[in-house]
Amino acid sequence: MFRILLISLIILSTFLTFGQKTIVGKILSQTTKEPIPFANIGVVNSNAGTLSNLDGTFSIIIPQKLNNDSLTFRSLGFYGKSISINQLESRKEFTVYLNEKATLLSTVIITAKKIKYKKIELGNKVYTSGNYEPDTTYAGRSVALLIDTNPWHGKKKKNQ
């Protein structure tokens, strides 16, 4: 009984792997020849995909129905590359070289805005700018929290 189960399992596993390609390779930078970690590898518009390891190596299983598509390689800071799956041999390791992509960023200037603080007395404590700061000393003694949403604070309306 055990032999029949083992033989049927082997036959079933060969049918499941029939037609699939296992592509193994390495992704390197064209200029520095260093590995590119965590690069995206996959077939566009399908669920077949993977990431490269820290040393740039990867392994991906391509189903038979995707053998006519292209395998794309992309990573941040590099130009993408596509290679036809038909050109790649199963289980034979190959190397993909990606060209670096320099991006010039615009200048960004960050300045601080002066914050106007307003003191508000609520109950038995004074709060700054309507912020409620609970503490254990006055817990449960606060009367209310004033949130001032009036944009005309301190100014008279034009119609009055």
Confidence check: pLDDT of 32 > 70: yes
Whole-number Cα distances in Å, 149 to 68, 129, 143, 146, 153: 63, 12, 19, 9, 9
Q: What is the pLDDT of residues 113-143, one digit of tens each?
A: 777 777 766 666 666 665 555 555 555 555 5
The confidence score (pLDDT) of residue 77 equals: 92
Q: How open is the CA angle 67-73-75, to the nearest 5 degrees?
A: 160
- Percent of the chain exceeding pLDDT 70 equals 62
Question: pTM of the full predicted structure?
Answer: 0.55
- Percent of the chain exceeding pLDDT 90 equals 31
Q: What is the pLDDT of residues 3-28, one digit of tens each?
A: 665 565 555 555 454 568 888 999 99
The confidence score (pLDDT) of residue 35 equals: 96
Whether CATH 2.60.40.1120 fits 20-98: yes
Confidence of residue 85 (pLDDT cuts 50, 70, 90): confident
Instruction: Return the higher-pLDDT residue of 155 and 102.
Output: 102
Sorted by where each begins, the domain ranges of the chain are 20-98, 115-148
In this prediction, residues 43-50 reach a mean pLDDT of 88
Contact yes or no for 43/66 (Cβ under 8 A): yes
Q: Reduced to 3 states, what is the DSSP secondary structure of residue 43? A: strand
Q: Residue 138: which of 126, 130, 120 has the closest Cα?
A: 126
